[in-house]
Amino acid sequence: MLITPAVFAEEAALEDNLVEDFKADVDGQVYKFIQPAVMEQEEVYVPLRTFFSVFGAPLTWDEQKNAAIIEADGKEYLLNMDLSGLSIKIDDNLVFPIKNISSQTYIPLSFLKEIINYEFFWDQENHTLKMVKKPEANTVFANLPEAPKFTVVETFTGTASWYGNKFHGRKTNSGEIFDENAFTCAHRTLPFNTYLRVTFLSTNASTIVRVNDRGPHVAGRILDLSKAAAEAIGLKPHGLGEVKVEVLALN
């Protein structure tokens, strides 16, 4: 089975550490990745989103919790990540480094061994991560907190755009400094700090963003996403796209 990834841009500093033809063998089912893995100091890093897609576990980003939400096992788990500090943690005593390569997050196998109910075996010769589910395990994930529950109070659809580049570092209408790498958005009327779940209808990928600016200032558009949010749902390469917007209230 072929996993379709985002584009991985090879960087000169990483060329010697790339593990090309990276594959995952999960209970005998082999998944081939177009993205390479990265080997560094005997640690293997794998692409976060595409790796979890092997388990049918999509991710969304929760700006309020500064964490990723994983849907699996009929639950929603909270994956605590510090994107600026490049770390991911289970608790205060278990913190692991992560990598951000060409806007893609890579996580170490040492972290995955703590949260996934599988035994791991790295086949260096064949560049294959072999995984076998633990006999006593009933779920894919372990040792992760469940995500907070939201109530959807309003839903609407329309065309969204994205912004970044020259606006990065400028003051938003809320008074915050705009960070194109944060998961935020601009809306004309919704109160600042309102949380929205935005789904790009072309990919069915979702992310959660926070309103901290006003816009878009072009007729026919309902939302202006930060660059990071647009990348997360696959909208950025299109410039514009039809989205479903859910206004959220935390239970």
- The C-alpha atoms of residue 81 and residue 250 are separated, in whole angstroms, by 20
Q: Note the CATH architecture for domain 150-250.
A: Beta Barrel (2.40)
pLDDT at site 237: 93
- The C-alpha atoms of residue 197 and residue 220 are separated, in whole angstroms, by 20
Ranges of CATH 2.40.40.10 domains, the chain:
150-250
Closest CA to 15 of 39, 47, 34: 39
Determine the distance from the C-alpha atom of residue 122 to the mean position of all C-alpha atoms in its chain, rounded to a whole number.
Answer: 24
pTM of this prediction?
0.57
pLDDT at site 8: 30
- The C-alpha atoms of residue 62 and residue 195 are separated, in whole angstroms, by 9
Single-letter code of the amino acid located at 18 = L
State the pairing for strand pair 118-123/240-250: unpaired
Q: Could you read off the pLDDT tens digit of each residue along the chain, which spans 251 residues?
A: 333 232 333 333 344 577 788 899 999 999 998 888 888 877 889 988 889 888 888 888 776 666 788 888 888 888 888 877 888 888 878 899 998 887 778 999 999 999 999 999 888 888 899 999 999 888 999 888 887 777 899 999 999 999 988 899 899 999 999 998 888 999 999 999 999 999 999 998 888 899 999 999 999 999 999 998 999 899 999 999 999 999 998 76
Beta bridge partners, 47, equal 106
